[in-house]
Chain A
């Protein structure tokens, strides 16, 4: 496996040459400061660019061309890490050695940049038909999260916690901003992204990278050089503890405890936080939450932790009967206190370290895991796989206890199940 970075005036190309996979992956990333971008607008732009282009005016034509290229998978998405907003477009293709056509790779690259360089702009504005279809589709989809009680509860939690901070903004945008958007504004959004975003291209596969880079240069020119530094950590103000209980139409109650983290070091962020999460709630059936909530007290089927070390928060969650919420809160707090007091069996910590390293080897089997890790290390000093392998075995119970004491419980959110006698 060979890593190499190419630095051009307008963009950088990060490559990994490896014969591990039968496919190859190319991703073009436009990276900007999320505070300066309207995310609703950006999400609409990204959806529109994967639906239509000047040469392929409909999704149908785009897809037919992809099928002709041996089911090339073309995708776009908007993601965020800290204040960095990534708008990316990618292709996933067969390794060209499996294909008879000698120009397969070239045609695939040409397709990707055709769509990026020439969106469906006619007469100085986006095509009305596609614009209105995609806008409508996003509008319809905005409320879909309400069909999943846990997703709904997590979004409500973040709204309550973060308000207008970037940590509380949904990447799909919101109805109020979406409704008045015009296709003219969207064209400006496209031009702004092309001009002011950092542009990074990621490539992985068994390819002659010098040759691929030459091909990319042939199809993609980005004149502006962007040097702005964008932070990868959002430091939200620590909030005073509050409790919120809301009624719902669901059958099961959702109980969420949100915590914030303060002043964490790089070591804590990359090497200690993952072990903390495993020991507290993400180690199959053996972590503290499963032990107390499920195995010993039969209160729930699922429980665990999610969160972000870029936004410095975590959410402990479970689904259960409303009548059991007080008991569950007692056990969650007990588990948290044990973490703070360093009541962690050495042997269990060792098991979790080994499991972490094994999971790391699984991630090394993922084409996306490999290139992401390389890229995020280069731009944001994320821990490399090599670093993780070295550092994880050195973590001690005291490190985890110290980290646990940087945790502030900020919000207890209960989404109460519907009263049984009210409906169906």
Chain B
């Protein structure tokens, strides 16, 4: 068992690996009752084209999500979530673009919960009736998403930013995709990606790390997995250019939205660590578009917007910066936002205060087992490792580094999405 010390946070992550390749991460908080266990498959909604055994395979969009639903069915058509319920735990499953997670949260029967989680992943038997029975609820889930303006906004934006990336299509797949997914598609995805070498387990909360690791290792010893064939995921040659620089979306909203997004190649930041990059950009965005900015204050005061926010994230080879507002006056607000993004302020005093406040957040975040579990899962999938020195990274951010990052951001590939209320007879 290895101990990963999180520098200056006085926190330890215990790490080990099963013989079959499954990695285990444990964080302990003895002051709480709660524990959370998560099994993560490092494959999700975006993994629809891949090569395995030198053979290219293309699956319908939505297959990872459909499989997640089927994995939650027991052989007798009862729910896996009900089994966790019997152990006193809450459980759930979710499909993300890059991962699929199965999790439980409880306060007792840790060993039984862990064993059930591990067993539920192993040697899935696909039963036609279960697959057909789940199609109705998944189609209803898809219709529910069509009533969600944020989801529609997100995918409209992805369609305008990217030419090739699978994130253009909703993770559930389209209704047509859902209708055509077959048992064979589900089995192919399962056989390709559901393997301990492509997975890891995170357990957090009131647990004994030695006991957790022993339980998982012993349980995994009993399972016989075939050799992992290491599928090669399709590499998308995404152009640096955006698809379109202006789009309008009409949907069921009450207040229009204006979203401004910028696509920047990650090649521009070769010498900068991703964690540092995201921290710096989010700090600068917060100080320019957040509550403490004079800009936001003036926009709200002039009643040009009701809300204003910003975010930055990495989508494969691109950094995406977004500014979003709810406003009755999208046309008036847009040029003001475009002008502001060209003239971001980088004030040392603001940065120092924001960094201090981020550090306080970081210290506080290592308390709630559910939160810590989510952070570890995110870090392991996004960065491929536990970030051991996040506090140090924050403490060492300098104005020179901030200026360096922003000197590499080209604002050329910029898209505007205006979302407007749909009028029944208009479209």
Which A residues are closer than 8 A to B by beta carbons? 19-23, 58-60, 63-64, 67-68, 70-71, 94, 98, 129, 133, 136-137, 140-141, 143-144, 146-149, 249-252, 283-286, 290, 294-295, 297-302, 319-321, 351, 354-355, 357-359, 361-362, 364-365, 418, 422-424
Known: A355-B88, A361-B34, A423-B424. 18 other contacts (CB 8 A): A21-B31, A23-B364, A59-B297, A60-B291, A63-B291, A67-B354, A68-B356, A71-B361, A143-B254, A249-B422, A250-B147, A252-B143, A290-B79, A297-B136, A301-B138, A302-B141, A358-B106, A362-B34
User: Of A20, A98, A146, A298, which one neighbours B363 at CB under 8 angstroms?
Assistant: A98
Task: Name the B residues within 8 Å of A284 (CB-CB).
Answer: 79, 81-82, 84-85, 90-91
Q: How far, in Å, is A286 (CB) from chain B's closest CB?
A: 4
**B137 contacts the other chain (CB 8 A):** yes
Using known A-B contacts A320-B140, A321-B140, determine if residue A140 contacts B79 with beta carbons closer than 8 Å: no
User: Of B79, B294, B361, which one neighbours A286 at CB under 8 angstroms?
Assistant: B79
A68 and B328 contact, CB distance less than 8 A: no
B363 and A365 contact, CB distance less than 8 A: no
Q: Which residue of A lies closest to B33 (CB)?
A: A361
Using known A-B contacts A133-B301, A300-B137, A301-B137, determine if residue A358 contacts B360 with beta carbons closer than 8 Å: no
A252 vs B252: C-alpha distance when bound (angstroms): 12
Near A by CB (< 8 A), chain B positions 96-155 give 105-108, 133-138, 140-141, 143-144, 146-147, 149
Task: Name the A residues within 8 Å of B84 (CB-CB).
Answer: 284
Q: Which residue of B lies closest to A278 (CB)?
A: B85
B89 and A60 contact, CB distance less than 8 A: no
Which B residues are closer than 8 A to A by beta carbons? 31-34, 72, 77-79, 81-82, 84-86, 88-91, 105-108, 133-138, 140-141, 143-144, 146-147, 149, 250, 252-255, 290-294, 296-297, 300-301, 303, 306, 326, 328, 353-354, 356-358, 360-361, 363-364, 366-369, 422, 424, 427
Using known A-B contacts A298-B136, A301-B141, A424-B422, determine if residue A358 contacts B108 with beta carbons closer than 8 Å: yes
Using known A-B contacts A136-B303, A149-B147, determine if residue A300 contacts B88 with beta carbons closer than 8 Å: no
B363 and A94 contact, CB distance less than 8 A: yes
A71 and B357 contact, CB distance less than 8 A: yes
B77 and A295 contact, CB distance less than 8 A: yes
Q: How far, in Å, is A248 (CB) from chain B's closest CB?
A: 9
Task: Name the A residues within 8 Å of B135 (CB-CB).
Answer: 298
User: Of B86, B149, B254, B357, which one neighbours A351 at CB under 8 angstroms?
Assistant: B86
**Chain A's interface: helix, strand, loop or mixed, by majority?**
mixed
User: Of B108, B326, B364, which one neighbours A94 at CB under 8 angstroms?
Assistant: B364
Task: Name the A residues within 8 Å of B250 (CB-CB).
Answer: 424
A49 vs B31: C-alpha distance when bound (angstroms): 36
Task: Name the A residues within 8 Å of B32 (CB-CB).
Answer: 20, 365
A140 vs B327: C-alpha distance when bound (angstroms): 9
B140 and A252 contact, CB distance less than 8 A: yes
User: Of A319, A355, A359, A365, which one neighbours B140 at CB under 8 angstroms?
Assistant: A319
Using known A-B contacts A284-B90, A365-B32, A423-B424, determine if residue A358 contacts B363 with beta carbons closer than 8 Å: no
A418 vs B427: C-alpha distance when bound (angstroms): 14
B301 and A249 contact, CB distance less than 8 A: no
Q: Which residue of A lies closest to B294 (CB)?
A: A60
Task: Name the B residues within 8 Å of A418 (CB-CB).
Answer: 424
A303 vs B376: C-alpha distance when bound (angstroms): 31
Task: Name the A residues within 8 Å of B363 (CB-CB).
Answer: 22, 94, 98
Task: Name the A residues within 8 Å of B31 (CB-CB).
Answer: 19-21
Q: Which residue of B lies closest to A249 (CB)?
A: B252
11 A-B interface contacts by CB (under 8 A): A64-B353, A249-B424, A250-B147, A252-B143, A283-B82, A286-B85, A302-B144, A355-B88, A361-B34, A362-B105, A362-B107
A422 vs B426: C-alpha distance when bound (angstroms): 10
Task: Name the A residues within 8 Å of B254 (CB-CB).
Answer: 143-144, 146-147
Task: Name the B residues within 8 Å of A321 (CB-CB).
Answer: 140, 143
Task: Name the B residues within 8 Å of A19 (CB-CB).
Answer: 31
Q: Which residue of A lies closest to B366 (CB)?
A: A22
Q: Which residue of A lies closest to B255 (CB)?
A: A140
A361 vs B34: C-alpha distance when bound (angstroms): 7
Task: Name the A residues within 8 Å of B300 (CB-CB).
Answer: 133, 137
Task: Name the A residues within 8 Å of B140 (CB-CB).
Answer: 252, 299-302, 319-321
A354 and B88 contact, CB distance less than 8 A: yes
Task: Name the A residues within 8 Å of B72 (CB-CB).
Answer: 285
Q: Which residue of A lies closest to B254 (CB)?
A: A143
Q: How far, in Å, is B264 (CB) from chain A's closest CB?
A: 28
A4 vs B290: C-alpha distance when bound (angstroms): 39
B360 and A94 contact, CB distance less than 8 A: yes
A60 and B33 contact, CB distance less than 8 A: no
Q: Which residue of B lies closest to A22 (CB)?
A: B367
Task: Name the A residues within 8 Å of B141 (CB-CB).
Answer: 301-302
A418 vs B293: C-alpha distance when bound (angstroms): 42
Task: Name the B residues within 8 Å of A252 (CB-CB).
Answer: 140, 143-144, 146-147
Q: How far, in Å, is A13 (CB) from chain B's closest CB?
A: 24
Task: Name the B residues within 8 Å of A20 (CB-CB).
Answer: 31-32
B143 and A299 contact, CB distance less than 8 A: no
* Top 4 closest pairs, chain A to chain B, by CB: A298-B136, A285-B79, A358-B88, A286-B82
A147 and B149 contact, CB distance less than 8 A: yes
Q: How far, in Å, is A415 (CB) from chain B's closest CB?
A: 11
